[in-house]
């Protein structure tokens, strides 16, 4: 494989998809040595078949708002690769959604799902519909219209969606309900469902908690304790809030959160009472972080800013969205002595920022390893659904911790480089790639 040539071809054939190019580029440079040692891969042009999704569905979603006006959004499902299991990956509802973002997410998902050691292929879907400011009924009508187009492509052994940005338990419930109506089947064809109808305990917590478990594994390699460490977190959604909750439980100090309007800074660390208030504000009242200083004036709100340059921290856990931490943010974090970055979001650090972290030899965990606890627990939800059983929270948490330790071990195995530094990007990409590549080789040219 000549990596530059493969990338140039992809950019020529699929122009205007920068996030997709960025994700592919990172993986290709990590795996090129291994790939080139195995000519049998290149003989069947494995790399191109792995980079280009198996198939993509795109469709119009028409729905009626509360004023009776007909609205139109775009819907997509990218089924990237099912060499090791049914397609699996979340659905994102956000105004920024386009095919480039979903192709990057589906590509990443394939490697992430492989790392979990569970039998799941990679997929991602979504719409440029924004749930923000919509009524409950509007969201329900949109979810139903979305699934009316997509249900034929889904199924417990075919393609199993879950949540992502803008899609939580409420949206999954509406989509699963409509799927069930169309198919007349009660199967585990969505994950992230409510507990009363097949959801798994610990699934809401899993991505954030899993990222903390991964961080603990990384810190242990340096003999560093999380207790008393200042942790900057971005986002204030599912991943960020459960990350903050677990960090506080472990004795860390949470110094920031953010939403798409701005960041909240807690120079002395969030108290349990302040965190509980923010959790309720975001999860139950769908409020904004800008409202927080009204109740707690000691917490500072910075409109339109991200946390990285605003507060001193030992550890950064970006947990909002892609490319939310750039090279100048990386400079700021490194200058203040940040020792670890563990990504809750998918590809939150730009490529130049990642290079700076790795060149500085700090602990740096890419999202595809550190946030894999979410999809891993979705895999556990699928296992419970197929057995018609529910495991206890302790059981799921134990399995989650074991899976995160296993992912960490795989990263170390394939990521250790000359000076004994563990390059977790390289480790995650190689470990994820080998399993998928070998399965594709065994199954012939498809
Ligand atoms: P949520 O919708 O629950 O929360 C997203 C948070 O990020 C919100 O606070 C949101 O702010 C903020 N945000 C969204 N878009 C932007 C933006 N363009 N700029 C700044 N802030 C933004 O999503 P999740 O917490 O589920 O997902 C967060 C990240 O984690 C995503 O990258 C997702 O792909 C990844 N992830 C999620 C998993 C899961 O299990 N949910 C699993 C693995 C990865 P606002 O409230 O203003 O919209």
Q: How far apart are CA 255 and CA 234, in angstroms?
A: 10
For the stretch 17-51, what's the b/e string if a residue is b when 16 or more beta carbons lie within 10 angstroms of its beta carbon? bebbbbbbbbbbbbbeebbeeeeebeeeebbebbb
pLDDT at site 181: 98
Query: Per-residue pLDDT for 74 more than 90?
Result: yes
Single out the catalytic residue among 88, 103, 112, 124. Answer: 124
Question: Which residue's CA lies nearest to atom 47 of ligand 1?
Answer: 260
Neighbours of 363 (CB within 10 A): 21
390-405, pLDDT tens digit by residue? 999 999 999 999 999 9
Q: Pick from 203, 259, 261, 288 the residue to mutate for probing ligand 1's pocket: most ligand atoms within 8 Å of its CB.
A: 259
> Which residue lies with its CA nearest to atom 15 of ligand 1?
321
Residue 357 Cα to ligand 1 middle (Å): 22
Q: Rounded to the nearest whole angstrom, what is the distance from the C-alpha of residue 237 to the centroid of ligand 1? A: 6
Determine if residue 92 is left, alpha or beta; phi over 0 gives left, psi from -120 to 50 gives alpha, anything else beta: beta
Nearest CA to ligand 1 atom 48: 260
- Which numbered atom of ligand 1 lies nearest the CA of 261? 47
> Could you tell me the two tokens for 21?
């190019």
The pLDDT score that the predictor gives to residue 429 is 98
Give the distance (Å) from ligand 1 centre to CA of residue 204. Answer: 13
Amino acid 344: pLDDT: 98
Give the C-alpha distances (Å, rounded to integers) separating 253 from 179, 269, 290, 332: 42, 5, 21, 19
pLDDT band at 419 (very low <50, low <70, confident <90, very high): very high
Pocket of ligand 1 (CB under 6 A): 96, 163-166, 207, 235-240, 259-261, 319-321, 324, 344-346, 371, 374
Work out the widest C-alpha separation in the chain, in whole angstroms. 64
Q: Tell me, what's the pLDDT at 92?
A: 98
* Contact present, 251 and 315 (Cβ < 8 Å): no
Mean pLDDT of the chain: 97
- The rounded Å distance from CA 235 to ligand 1 centre is 6
Which pLDDT score, from 0 to 100, does residue 111 have? Answer: 98
The CA–CA distances, whole Å, from 413 to 108, 410, 416, 417 equal 20, 5, 6, 10
Q: Is the pLDDT of residue 126 over 90?
A: yes
- Does 124 qualify as catalytic in the annotation? yes
Percent of the chain with pLDDT over 90: 99
Q: If you take atom 3 of ligand 1, which residue's CA is the nearest one?
A: 237
Residues counted in the chain: 446
Distance 379 CA to ligand 1 centre (A): 21
User: Which protein residue's CA is at the shortest distance from atom 22 of ligand 1?
Assistant: 260
According to the model, what pLDDT value does residue 352 have? Answer: 98
Which one of 129, 239, 242, 307 would you pick to mutate in the ligand 1 pocket, going by the greatest count of ligand atoms within 8 A of its CB? 239
Instruction: Tell me what pLDDT residue 155 has.
Output: 97
Q: Is the pLDDT of residue 75 over 90?
A: yes
pLDDT at residue 403 in the model: 98
Assigned token pair, 363? 């602990």
Residues 14-34 pLDDT 10s:
999 999 999 999 999 999 999
pLDDT the model gives residue 34 = 96
Q: What is the pLDDT at residue 333?
A: 98
Instruction: Choose one of 22, 170, 235 to mutate for the ligand 1 pocket test, by most ligand atoms within 8 angstroms of C-beta.
Output: 235
Q: Report CA(294)–ligand 1 centroid distance (Å).
A: 24
Over residues 414-430, mean pLDDT: 96
Task: Give the CA angle between residues 221, 225, 231 to the nearest 5°.
Answer: 105
For the segment 254-267, the average pLDDT, to the nearest whole number, is: 97
User: pTM for this one?
Assistant: 0.97
Question: Per-residue pLDDT averaged across 204-209, rounded?
Answer: 98
Ligand 1 nearest-atom number relative to CA 258: 9
C-alpha span between 307 and 409 (Å, rounded): 30
What's residue 1's pLDDT? 80
């Amino acid at each position: 494989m000549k990596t530059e040539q493969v990338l140039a071809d992809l950019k020529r054939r699929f122009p205007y998809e920068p996030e997709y190019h960025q994700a592919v580029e990172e993986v290709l440079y990590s795996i090129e040595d291994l790939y080139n040692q195995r000519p049998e891969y290149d003989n069947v042009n494995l790399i191109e078949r792995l980079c280009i999704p198996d198939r993509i569905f795109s469709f119009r979603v028409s729905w009626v708002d509360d004023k009776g006006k007909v609205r139109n959004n775009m819907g997509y499902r990218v089924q990237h690769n099912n060499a090791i299991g049914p397609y699996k990956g979340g659905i994102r509802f956000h105004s920024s959604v386009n095919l480039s973002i979903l192709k990057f997410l589906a590509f990443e998902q394939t490697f992430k799902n492989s790392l979990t050691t569970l039998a799941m292929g990679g997929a991602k879907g979504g719409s440029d519909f924004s749930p923000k400011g919509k009524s409950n009924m509007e969201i329900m009508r949109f979810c139903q219209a979305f699934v009316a187009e997509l249900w034929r492509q889904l199924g417990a052994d075919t393609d199993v969606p879950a949540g992502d940005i803008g899609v939580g338990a409420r949206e999954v419930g509406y989509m699963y309900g409509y799927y069930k109506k169309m198919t007349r089947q009660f199967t585990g064809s969505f994950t992230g469902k409510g507990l009363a109808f097949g959801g798994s305990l610990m699934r809401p917590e899993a991505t954030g908690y899993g990222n903390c478990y991964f961080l603990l594994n990384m810190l242990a390699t340096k003999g560093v304790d999380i207790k008393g460490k200042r942790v900057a977190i971005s986002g204030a959604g599912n991943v960020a809030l459960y990350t903050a909750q677990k960090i506080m439980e472990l004795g860390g100090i949470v110094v920031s959160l953010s939403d798409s309007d701005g960041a909240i800074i807690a120079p002395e660390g969030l108290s349990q009472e302040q965190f509980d208030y923010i959790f309720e504000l975001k999860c139950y009242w769908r409020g904004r972080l800008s409202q927080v200083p009204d109740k707690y004036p000691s917490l500072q709100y910075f409109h339109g800013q991200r946390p990285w340059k605003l507060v001193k921290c030992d550890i950064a856990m970006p947990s909002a969205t892609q490319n939310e931490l750039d090279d100048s943010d990386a400079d700021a974090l490194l200058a203040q002595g940040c020792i670890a970055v563990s990504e809750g979001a998918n590809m939150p650090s730009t490529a130049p920022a990642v290079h700076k972290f790795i060149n500085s030899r700090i602990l740096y965990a890419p999202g595809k390893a550190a946030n894999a606890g979410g999809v891993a627990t979705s895999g556990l939800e699928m296992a419970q659904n197929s057995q018609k059983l529910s495991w206890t929270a302790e059981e799921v948490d134990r399995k989650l911790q074991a899976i995160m330790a296993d992912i960490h071990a795989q990263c170390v195995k394939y990521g250790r480089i000359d000076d004994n530094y563990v390059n977790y990007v390289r480790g995650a990409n190689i470990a994820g790639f080998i399993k998928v590549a070998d399965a594709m080789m065994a199954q012939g040219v498809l």
